[in-house]
């Protein structure tokens, strides 16, 4: 274990005094809000807008609204920004693990996971029924890591309410994303070639988990509003919201944008593979679960999907994140939004996506134009 690794005896220190993220800001309330929002962990989530939070915040601040829906919340960082801005936030995503992140950080305004609870979660049992170890041995992680996940799930009752459980699941998710080479679950194995000595790959899942509990505890606060986290299809989200932030998957020019394909392990883990839709496809090498249909994944259905989306939320201020590498083209979407909204403004900036290991990153970096399309 490397010197930066966290030992079991350090649980208290990590849970009670997690590492702070420092930003070069000082002073004003606006900067303080942004500092708080940017403390949200970067989760290596495909399409995360974490790097764009200051830019998005600048545009949101000019709009007049009290309630907001983050309709495709993903990692949860934009929902958290909205919470920090003092808005009444509803987060929605059809992925269970994304919804758990939002329950822990958006809906939850006061519950933290205590040191005692962490000790209860880590209490050595035989690892429950060993389902995770049996199913994923030789596929992802080391046997000890998998046994650890089984143990946490077997001891989940140590968490005394749904908010605490959501923090525990979120901490497992962050741990797995950090420990997994490239943060995706498309290829089996724990290949030596990815072990370039980085701290994240040297630490065990348990060490990452303990650190992550501290990170999520540190995010808990009340903004004085009743915020909600939903888990479902965007077209089933009830109610009206002053502003709706839309960040659907983009149909890429190459490859696909399937979140379940990349993150099936996290999606299963969020319910220990008990939830409907997480049945393991045993014939697949990496023990996938079934894909979930979304119109935003396919050229033939994407445009119609956007049309339904704009129509459904036409009463709200629409804020759409989009990028130059998506399909359909920006002009097509702007024209479509103009058929529902009188004023449509386009804001643009460059954004560098990173997806890969250190060694690969330079070849896989892509500079794309990022847009915020605002319809009022």
Which residues contact ligand SAM by CB under 6 A?
45, 47-49, 72, 74-75, 77-78, 93-95, 98, 233-234, 247-249, 259, 294, 296
Q: Closest CB to ligand SAM among 249 and 375?
A: 249
Cα–Cα distance for residue pair 361/193, rounded to 1 Å: 15
CB of 232 to ligand SAM, least distance (A): 7
Q: Closest CB to ligand SAM among 128 and 183?
A: 183
Say if residues 81 and 51 touch (Cβ distance below 8 Å): no
CB of 240 to ligand SAM, least distance (A): 18
Beta strands in 139-266 (DSSP E): 228-231, 243-246, 251-252
The distance in angstroms from the start CA to the end CA of the chain is 54
Q: Closest CB to ligand SAM among 47 and 130?
A: 47
Phi, psi of 262 (to 5 degrees): -80, -35
Cα–Cα distance for residue pair 351/353, rounded to 1 Å: 6
Q: Closest CB to ligand SAM among 15 and 57?
A: 57
Angle at 91 between CA 171 and CA 186, to 5 degrees: 50
Provide the token pair at 73: 């919340």
Q: Closest CB to ligand SAM among 93 and 145?
A: 93
CB of 367 to ligand SAM, least distance (A): 18
Say if residues 67 and 87 touch (Cβ distance below 8 Å): yes
Strands 243-246 and 88-93: unpaired
Say if residues 83 and 135 touch (Cβ distance below 8 Å): no
Q: Closest CB to ligand SAM among 50 and 341?
A: 50
CB of 342 to ligand SAM, least distance (A): 26
Q: Nearest-CB residue to ligand SAM?
A: 74
- Secondary structure class of 353 (helix, strand, coil): strand
Q: Closest CB to ligand SAM among 70 and 145?
A: 70
Phi, psi of 46 (to 5 degrees): -55, 125
CB of 352 to ligand SAM, least distance (A): 15
Provide the token pair at 9: 């005896």
CB neighbour burial string for 161-190, b if at least 16 within 10 angstroms, e if fewer: eebbbbbbbbbbbbbbbbbbbbbbbeeeeb
CB of 301 to ligand SAM, least distance (A): 11
CB of 317 to ligand SAM, least distance (A): 17
């Amino acid at each position: 274990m490397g010197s930066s690794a966290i030992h079991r005896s350090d649980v208290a220190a990590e849970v009670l005094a997690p590492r702070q993220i420092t930003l070069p800001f000082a002073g004003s309330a606006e900067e303080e809000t942004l500092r708080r929002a940017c403390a949200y962990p970067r989760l290596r989530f495909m399409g995360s807008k974490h790097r764009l939070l200051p830019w998005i915040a600048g545009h949101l601040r000019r709009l007049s609204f009290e309630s907001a829906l983050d309709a495709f919340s993903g990692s949860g960082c934009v929902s958290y920004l909205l919470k920090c801005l003092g808005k009444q936030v509803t987060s929605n995503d059809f992925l269970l693990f994304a919804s758990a992140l939002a329950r822990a950080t958006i809906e939850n305004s006061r519950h933290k996971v205590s040191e005692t609870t962490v000790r209860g979660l880590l209490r050595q049992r035989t690892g429950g029924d060993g389902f995770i170890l049996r199913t994923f041995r030789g596929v992802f992680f080391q046997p000890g890591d998998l046994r650890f996940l089984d143990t946490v799930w077997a001891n989940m009752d140590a968490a005394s309410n749904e908010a605490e459980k959501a923090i525990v699941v979120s901490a497992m998710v962050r741990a797995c994303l950090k420990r997994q080479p490239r943060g995706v679950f498309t290829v089996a194995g724990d290949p030596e070639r990815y072990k370039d000595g980085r701290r994240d790959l040297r630490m065990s899942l348990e060490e990452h988990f303990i650190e992550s509990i501290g990170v999520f505890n540190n995010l808990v606060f009340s903004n004085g509003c009743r915020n909600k986290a939903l888990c479902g299809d965007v077209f089933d989200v009830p109610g009206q919201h002053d502003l709706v932030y839309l960040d659907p998957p983009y149909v890429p020019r190459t490859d696909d944008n399937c979140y379940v394909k990349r993150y099936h392990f996290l999606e299963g883990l969020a319910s220990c593979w008990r939830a409907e839709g997480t049945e393991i496809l045993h014939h697949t090498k990496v023990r996938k679960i079934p894909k979930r249909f979304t119109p935003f994944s396919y050229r033939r259905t994407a445009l119609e999907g956007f049309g339904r989306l704009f129509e459904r939320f036409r009463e709200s201020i629409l804020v759409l994140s989009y990028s130059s590498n998506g399909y359909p083209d920006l002009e097509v979407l702007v024209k479509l939004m103009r058929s529902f909204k009188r004023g449509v403004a386009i804001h643009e900036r460059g954004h560098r996506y990173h997806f890969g290991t250190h060694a690969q990153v330079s070849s896989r970096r892509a500079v794309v134009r990022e847009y915020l399309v605002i319809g009022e």
